[in-house]
Amino acid sequence: MSAGQVRGFVRVAAAVPPVRVTDFVYNREQTLDLWRQAHAEGVATVFFPELGLTSYTSGDLHMDGHLLRLGHESLVWLLQRGEAEGLQTVAFVGMPLFVHPGVYNCAVAIQGGSVLAVVPKGFLPNYGEFYEKRQFREGRYVPAGSTVEVAEQVVPFGMDVLFHTQNVPGLVVGVEICEDGWVQHPPNAYQASAGATVCGNLSGSNFLLGKAETRHRLCWRASSPGKCAYLYAGAGPGESSSDVAYDAHALIYENGHCLGETTRFSRRPQLLVADVDLELLLHQRATGGTFGDCAVHHQRSFRPVPFTAHLPESFRPLRRAIDRHPFVPKDIETLATRCWEVFEIQTNALMTRMEHFENQRLVLALSGGRDSTLAALACANALDQLGLPREHLLCVSMPGLGTSQHTRNASRMLAHALGASFEEEDIREESYLVLRDQHHPAVRRYTEWRERAGREHDAALFVDFLGAHPQFADVELENVQARVRKLRVMMKANRHRAVEIGTGDLSEKALGWSTYSGDHISMYDLNPGVPKTLVEFVIRWVANERIQTWSAGGDESLRQVLFDILEAPISPELLPTNAEGRIAQLTESTIGPFQLHDFFLYWFVNHGTRPARILFLAEAAFGDEYPREDLRKWLLLFFRRFFGQQWKRDCTADGPKVGTVALSPRGDWRMPSDAVVRTWLEEIEQA
Q: What is the DSSP letter of 543?
A: I
Distance CA 359, CA 351 (A): 9
Question: Can you say how many angstroms the Cα of residue 465 is from the centroid of all Cα atoms in its chain?
Answer: 47
Residue 153, strand partner residues: 150
User: Among candidates 123, 115, 118, 99, which has minimal Cα distance to 107?
Assistant: 118
Phi first, then psi, for residue 149 (nearest 5°) are: -95, 120
CA distance linking residue 199 with residue 294, whole number of Å: 18
Name the residue among 178, 172, 227 with its Cα closest to residue 203.
178
Q: Which of 106, 176, 178, 478 is catalytic?
A: 178
For the chain, the residue count is: 687
Per-residue exposure over 535-557, b if at least 16 CB sit within 10 Å of its own CB, e if not = bbbbbbbbbeebbeebebbeeee
Helical pair 370-385 and 332-357, crossing angle rounded to 10 deg: 60
User: Exposed, middle or buried, 392 (CB in 10 Å: 0-12/13-18/19+)?
Assistant: buried
Assess whether 121 carries a catalytic annotation: yes
Q: For residue 548, what is the DSSP state?
A: G
Render the burial of 307-328: b for 16+ CB within 10 Å, e for the rest. bebbbbeebeebbbebebbbbb
Burial (0-12, 13-18, 19+ Cβ within 10 Å), 580: exposed
CA–CA dist 657, 659 (Å, integer):
6
Active site residue 682: no
The secondary element (H helix, E strand) that includes residue 16 is strand 9-16
d(CA 654, CA 656): 7
Out of 106, 121, 219, 509, pick the active-site residue: 121
Cα distances (Å, whole numbers) of residue 480 to 359, 406, 587: 29, 22, 18
SS3 labels along 118-170: EEECCCCCCCCCCCHHHCCCCHHHCCCCCEEEECCEEEEECCCEEEEECCCCC
Based on the residue annotation, tell me whether 178 is a catalytic residue of this protein. Answer: yes
* DSSP state letter for 268: S
Whether 172 contacts 200, CB under 8 Å: no
Q: Is the Cα torsion angle 371, 377, 381, 382 positive or negative in sign? A: positive
In angstroms, the CA 201 to CA 391 distance is 61
d(CA 129, CA 267): 23
Residue 108 near residue 95, CB atoms below 8 Å: yes
Task: For residue 222, give every residue at least 6 positions away whose Cβ sits within 8 Å of its Cβ, in sequence order, or none.
Answer: 181, 186, 188, 189, 192, 199, 201, 228, 230, 253
DSSP string, 465-517: HHHH-GGG--HHHHHHHHHHHHHHHHHHHHHHT-EEEE---HHHHHHT-S-TT
User: What HEC string does 229-266 produce?
Assistant: EEEEECCCCCCCCCCCECCCCEEEEECCEEEEECCCCC
Q: What is the largest CA-CA distance in the chain?
A: 111
Active site residues: 50, 121, 178
